[in-house]
A and B are shown apart, each in its own frame.
Chain A
Amino acid sequence: MSKRTDPAPDDRLDELESKRRQAEQAGGEERIAAQHKKGKLTARERLGILLDPGSLNEIDPYRAHRHHAFGLDEQRYPGDSVVTGFGRVDGRMLAVYAQDFTVLGGSFSEVQGQKVARLLDLALDAGVPVVGLMDSVGARIQEGVYSLAAFSELFWRNTQASGIVPQISVMLGPCAGGSVYSPGLTDFVIMAEGSNMFITGPKVIETVTGEKVGLDELGGAGVHNGISGVAHFAAASEQEALALTRKLLGYLPANNAEPPPRRAPADDPQRMETALNSLVPGDPSEAYDIRAVIELVFDRGSFLEVHAGFAQNAVVGFVRLHGAVVGVLANQPMVKAGVLDIDASDKLARFIRFCDAFNIPLATFVDTPGFLPGVREEHGGIIRHGAKIVYAYSEATVPKLAVITRKAYGGAYIVMSSKYIRTDLVYAWPTAEIAVMGAEGAVEILYADKLKGRPDKAEAEKDYVDAFRAEFGSPYAAAASGHVDDVIRPEETRPKLIAALELLRDKRVPSRPRKHGNIPL
């Protein structure tokens, strides 16, 4: 063993420290102050909130661009416009990147693309989720095609990672033009108040179509959470958006080869909620809040609603059932009567596919009068969109459970996790009505001729309706022929679902090899 003759001199360490300080300064004090003045945090501050304290391991902090044109040679920053690395949330590893608005507006550069691509490659090999914190003016125009190529590399990787590791985009500033397709490709988009997303901005829109529209009105958090469905969560502030990201990660496995994270159950598995017994109103035209059912059945306080503001006639989200993560889906009778329409179809289908890709069992609560009638829906392609729900449920191999609480009519009954599309266990409450359509509608069609012109029309109609209800207004006809597996007291739903899930925990479904299916997009 030879004696070490040249220990690293202190000035080498000093040099590293000074380079680190410089990288941490990013775009410089002035830019940082400007960011703070807007009420926004810097990339590193945001990562500090997102990750467990001190857990960030940065990658590529010194990588800098090689461009000269349009003044770029005088604006070269170590690390360029993005911070990338890996760290922990609640002790679990994930890959993170944060666009740095203080460096050339967080513009998407060749280096930003290379750094993020490198990170995604690493995440995919390691099998860990990817979270991107977005705050950028868009492509770095000065870099020309290099910038565009960098975007595309990210989109390609987002696609490769889809269904392998969960991907979350957190919008904390502008995201415009082509760059929106990265969030658009990821599994979940969380938008903080003040962030916005659009393909073409207000100026271009006004030039081309003459429409005058503000940033927020065009692509703010409200628009994408309420109207377009591009975003899955809205947050009042950056801090809230980051806290929500941590919470969401708590329901997701690190990759598709892992089960979702189990928690020690804190709630009584035998808990019977008698309130459930009287929750469905006796009058079939009265609504109730299906979220009340969800809150009462699953582990207390575990419901994280996804797409809460979008297509509210359907409800989707994550819950825990005796500690295990479950994806819950439901019709919402108190919004648009709980009908299935184009937006609700897209919302349900996408959530089913996410859960199936990541081994999260599905529990569906059914109370829908059917698909929304109308020229607008038909011309909008409700056939194509509704088919996505059937496709997604049929394709899903995770444990699938369903509870019919009230109306299960026609095509909507079939698509909402019926036995025929291989739902493992279908339970019905005594209030369930399984029929081709509602009693009134059925009588109008079946007895139109007999009722026409009769002086006692109203009375006769009521008799027919009563007769129809007697046959289809309860679940027993369906249960007698095996279309539902059991009729249960509403209060028994929790223990029944827990037992069913325990039975199906290691469910295996053989699959035939194919390149991929052709979901009706």
Chain B
Amino acid sequence: MKNKHLKVFLDGTEFDVEVQAVDAHGLEVSVNGRLYKVEFEDLDEAALIPVIAPTAPAGPGGPLRAPMPGDVTQVMVKTGDEVGVGQELLVLEAMKMKNVLRAPRAGRVAAVDVAAGQSVAHGDVLVRFEE
């Protein structure tokens, strides 16, 4: 999950606020470096939808390969980009669904082997990372 970094001014004082984690029950925020746990009580509606990126299997290195056959419809990274674990890399349309493919690990993108509009087979290399 991307960290949410905010600067809050309250009565002339600056607070450095960073949201560390959010789930259905609350969130963890650091305020000027101190960590606080906030629990939701009577919040409803969309605010409670937990945002969790699937834990990428921390498998061995190697490139990101197509998990299934489909069409690449969107590429969000380019060679040289620094990416974090779980960051969205590209969209693979398959089974009439837009499948967001995420970075299996952190690192620098060495090459993007596909472009939007391209069809790929199961196991095709999509994105390579620098070792």
Chain A residues proximal to chain B, CB less than 8 Å: 216-217, 220-223, 225-227, 234, 273-275, 278-279, 284-287, 289, 291-292, 295-296, 300-301, 308-310, 312, 332-339, 341, 369-370, 372-374, 376, 438, 440-441
B57's partner among A216, A222, A338, A372 (CB-CB below 8 A) is A222
Q: Are B49 and A222 in contact (CB-based, < 8 A)?
A: no
Asked whether A334 and B100 contact (CB < 8 A) given A289-B52, A339-B95, the answer is yes
Q: Are A372 and B68 in contact (CB-based, < 8 A)?
A: yes
**Is B93's beta carbon under 8 Å from chain A?**
yes
Q: Are B25 and A335 in contact (CB-based, < 8 A)?
A: no
Q: Are A275 and B58 in contact (CB-based, < 8 A)?
A: no
Q: Are A301 and B25 in contact (CB-based, < 8 A)?
A: yes
Asked whether A309 and B55 contact (CB < 8 A) given A285-B93, A285-B97, A287-B100, the answer is yes
Determine the residue in chain B with the shortest Cβ distance to A277: B45
B60's partner among A216, A333, A369 (CB-CB below 8 A) is A216
**Is B48's beta carbon under 8 Å from chain A?**
yes
Determine the residue in chain A with the shortest Cβ distance to B62: A217
22 cross-chain CB contacts under 8 A: A225-B57, A226-B56, A226-B59, A234-B58, A278-B46, A284-B96, A284-B97, A286-B97, A287-B97, A291-B52, A296-B48, A296-B50, A309-B55, A309-B57, A335-B54, A335-B67, A336-B67, A337-B95, A341-B68, A374-B68, A374-B69, A374-B122
Measured between alpha carbons, how far is A344 from B70 in the docked complex, in Å? 19
Q: Are B99 and A223 in contact (CB-based, < 8 A)?
A: no
Asked whether A292 and B97 contact (CB < 8 A) given A226-B57, A227-B57, A274-B44, the answer is no
Chain B residues proximal to chain A, CB less than 8 Å: 23-25, 44-52, 54-60, 67-69, 93-100, 122-123
Measured between alpha carbons, how far is A273 from B95 in the docked complex, in Å? 30
Asked whether A273 and B57 contact (CB < 8 A) given A301-B25, A369-B97, the answer is no
Measured between alpha carbons, how far is A155 from B15 in the docked complex, in Å? 60
Known: A217-B60, A274-B45. 9 other contacts (CB 8 A): A223-B59, A274-B44, A275-B48, A286-B97, A289-B52, A291-B50, A336-B95, A339-B95, A376-B123
Q: Which residues of A contact B59 (CB under 8 A)?
A: 222-223, 226-227
B46, B97, B99, most chain A CB atoms within 10 A:
B97
Q: Are B69 and A279 in contact (CB-based, < 8 A)?
A: no
Determine the residue in chain B with the shortest Cβ distance to A213: B60
Q: Are B122 and A275 in contact (CB-based, < 8 A)?
A: no
Q: Are B46 and A275 in contact (CB-based, < 8 A)?
A: yes
Q: Are A285 and B58 in contact (CB-based, < 8 A)?
A: no
Q: Are B99 and A308 in contact (CB-based, < 8 A)?
A: no
B-side interface mostly: loop
Q: Are A337 and B99 in contact (CB-based, < 8 A)?
A: yes
Determine the residue in chain B with the shortest Cβ distance to A216: B60
Q: Are B96 and A279 in contact (CB-based, < 8 A)?
A: no
Q: Which residues of B contact A291 (CB under 8 A)?
A: 50, 52
Q: Which residues of B contact A336 (CB under 8 A)?
A: 67-68, 94-95, 99
Determine the residue in chain B with the shortest Cβ distance to A368: B95
How far is the CB of B68 from the nearest CB of chain A, in Å?
A: 5
Measured between alpha carbons, how far is A295 from B96 in the docked complex, in Å? 27
Determine the residue in chain B with the shortest Cβ distance to A301: B25
How far is the CB of A329 from the nearest CB of chain B, in Å?
A: 16
Q: Are A335 and B50 in contact (CB-based, < 8 A)?
A: no
Q: Which residues of A contact B55 (CB under 8 A)?
A: 308-309
Q: Which residues of A contact B24 (CB under 8 A)?
A: 292, 295-296, 300
How far is the CB of B23 from the nearest CB of chain A, in Å?
A: 7
Q: Which residues of A contact B47 (CB under 8 A)?
A: 275
Measured between alpha carbons, how far is A373 from B56 in the docked complex, in Å? 24
Q: Which residues of A contact B44 (CB under 8 A)?
A: 273-275
B54's partner among A227, A278, A334, A438 (CB-CB below 8 A) is A334
Measured between alpha carbons, how far is A374 from B50 in the docked complex, in Å? 34
Q: Which residues of A contact B50 (CB under 8 A)?
A: 289, 291-292, 295-296
Determine the residue in chain A with the shortest Cβ distance to B96: A438
Measured between alpha carbons, how far is A127 from B95 in the docked complex, in Å? 47
How far is the CB of A8 from the nearest CB of chain B, in Å?
A: 56
How far is the CB of B27 from the nearest CB of chain A, in Å?
A: 14
